[in-house]
Structure 1
Amino acid sequence: MKGTIVRTPEQEEYAHPAHDRFFLRDVVTATLNPALSVHRGRIEVGGEIRPHTHDQQAETFYILGGEALCTMNGKETVLTAGCCVVAPAGVSHNLKNVGEEPVELLALFTPPLK
């Protein structure tokens, strides 16, 4: 078995169809790692990842930059660089950009989303 190096800036970025001004790059999918998937995300100013749940995956997201309001389990928390959130399967969560610059994040799914 050999390892793989992924150069995220070379990956195609796409707009998420269910959210507002949220763009993604699929960094690692189940093809590379059957245990998890990793996605690089950007929420533009005023954008939002709308409230949603995942039936089978836990989502762990790590904020790289910007300022986002996270709502999970009815509680609102402002997140900045270095904050990490775990949303277990079945738990509703969302992120809204409340700052003046894009929110940059990594989203990890176990098991893989894709």
Structure 2
Amino acid sequence: MFEPRGAHAFDYCLHEGTPTRMQFHFADSMAMPVAVQTWELDPGGHEGMHSHDPDAMALEEFYLVLEGTARMQVGAEHHQLRAGDSVLAPAGVEHDLRNTGDGVLRVLVVWGEPGHKDFSSFGSLAAARAARGRNP
């Protein structure tokens, strides 16, 4: 399957934030239990402070900045982000993403319910653990 950049993109307001140009990649076509989206926020745009209640539908969210600069608050922590930086927002923790640059902020966002998958048979996990100073 192939989906070009911008295919089926739409404008959407998240969590009382500003309008976000969004592409929900392979909506209804992917078997993995996650949502994969790209977002484009205009300068000054923001997602809106929110959390995902663990007692309702607990969601963990991964953000990877593709283009631009941003500030992200996750709980009491504040992060200044640029292309290549990533942040994980655990379920139940308040968070907000804000475009701090002069151009469009492009972000890859992957979200889903927390769980565990054993990737220990993959050499890339052992290499990632070693890069973090952990035992493979």
TM-score bracket for this pair, using the shorter chain length: 0.7 to 0.9
Number of residues paired by the alignment? 108
Please list every run of 5 or more consecutive structure 1 residues that lacks an aligned counterpart in the other structure: none
Letter in 1 for 2:81: L
Which residue number corresponds to residue 10 of structure 1? 7
Q: Which of the pair is proportionally richer in strand?
A: 1
**Contact 2:36 2:108 survives alignment (8 Å):** yes
**1:46 and 2:44 aligned:** yes
Larger radius of gyration: 2
**Contact 1:30 1:37 survives alignment (8 Å):** no
Residues in 1 aligned to 2:27 and 2:76: alpha-carbon distance in whole angstroms: 31
Please list every run of 5 or more consecutive structure 2 residues that lacks an aligned counterpart in the other structure: 114-136
Per-residue deviation, residues 16-56 of structure 1 (Å, max 9, x unmatched): 25311322111133542241110110110111111111231
**1:88 and 2:90 aligned:** yes
Residues in 1 aligned to 2:65 and 2:29: alpha-carbon distance in whole angstroms: 25
Q: Which has the higher contact order (CA 8 A, sep 6+)?
A: 1
- For normalisation by structure 2, the TM-score amounts to 0.72
2:26 to 28, 39, 56: 28
Q: Cα RMSD over matched residues? A: 1.6
Q: Name the % identity.
A: 22
